[in-house]
Amino acid sequence: MIQRWVYRPWTAFALMLLIPALVACGGAASPHAPTAAASLTTTAPTSTGGELSGQLTIAGSSALLPLIQEAANQFQTKNPKVQITVTAGGSGAGRTQVCEGKIDIGNSDVPISDAEKTKLNCPDAQGVAVAIQAFDVVANKQGPGTVTNLTKVQMMDIFSGKITSWKDVGGDDTPIVLVNRAKGSGTRANMAKFLFDGDDALFAAGASEEDNNETVKQTVAQTPGAISYLGFAYLSDPSLLAFSLDGVAPNKSDIKAGKWLIGGPGYAITKGAPAPLAKAFLDFVTSAEFQGGATFDKLGFVAVK
């Protein structure tokens, strides 16, 4: 005969909560460390037949995003047991998160500097160049008028706020609406390197600090008089006007020939030597097959070799 108090709702409830709680805590505690590690790092590929499996998390530069996303798609088609997540967030966020161990690979438009390695406490960070990127200054079609070419000095003056109207560069009488990127952006860093020799403080405050290339593209496309800068993969929007720089047109042949001055390699950064799955992916991205494939052409990147 079970005692009466067992039947009381309180006791039954306590029992019912206690058991799952114990199971959860016990179950979570032991695999907690390895599962946490497993979800952050990659699992080793099985040795038989070299079939890869596991999960990869990649984040960072929005300029590199289309390239890495397409590479991830192709890689996953070849290796059905692999799952790769690619998001943006900015080159700065990419470098920080990979050093924290939150993601496996961080995409960045600029290499990770020694100062940053010390500050983020990952002295063994390694970067692999995955593509040559180009950036260009773009504007809304309303404003520049017939101007399609800007000199470097004009660009410097516009972005530092000295020129505030399109008519000062030969366009219509429309005020210039400066759309900037947030400070962690590698795209912005590349522009600062070209315009101001890396002195980011010379950028004017601007109308906004957009989060990534896509919002910049949309904002510039919709705002008359707007001007900003984008990675090449985003220049295809017909409502944008991509400027020539000192007479050099923004097309692939000029980039390949080295005539285009704004840009540089884009990097995939890992904390220390990449784990096997990450290494396999990076090998694929830098392979001749992918670098010479149709994606590079379609998206506007230049092969790294």
Out of 116, 168, 214, 254, point to the residue binding another protein (CB under 8 A): 214
Q: Which residues contact 299 (CB under 8 A, 6 or more apart)?
A: 66, 67, 70, 232, 233
9 counts as binding another protein under rule CB under 8 A? yes
Instruction: Return the CA Rg of the chain.
Output: 25
Q: Which is nearer to another protein, 65 or 150 (CB)?
A: 65
- Part of the chain binding another protein (CB under 8 A), chosen from 33-41, 149-157, 251-259, 265-273: 33-41
Q: Which is nearer to another protein, 211 or 254 (CB)?
A: 211
Out of 19, 22, 28, 273, point to the residue binding another protein (CB under 8 A): 28
What is the footprint of another protein within residues 59-88 (CB under 8 A)? 59, 62, 65-66, 69-70, 73, 76-77, 80-88
Out of 107, 108, 190, 208, point to the residue binding another protein (CB under 8 A): 208
Out of 41, 295, 301, 302, point to the residue binding another protein (CB under 8 A): 295
- Part of the chain binding another protein (CB under 8 A), chosen from 107-115, 125-133, 161-169, 176-184: 176-184
Contacts to another protein by CB under 8 A: 7, 9-10, 12-13, 16-17, 24, 28, 31-32, 35-36, 39, 59, 62, 65-66, 69-70, 73, 76-77, 80-90, 92-93, 96-97, 100, 174-175, 177, 179, 182-184, 207-209, 211-215, 217-219, 222-226, 233-234, 236, 295, 298-299
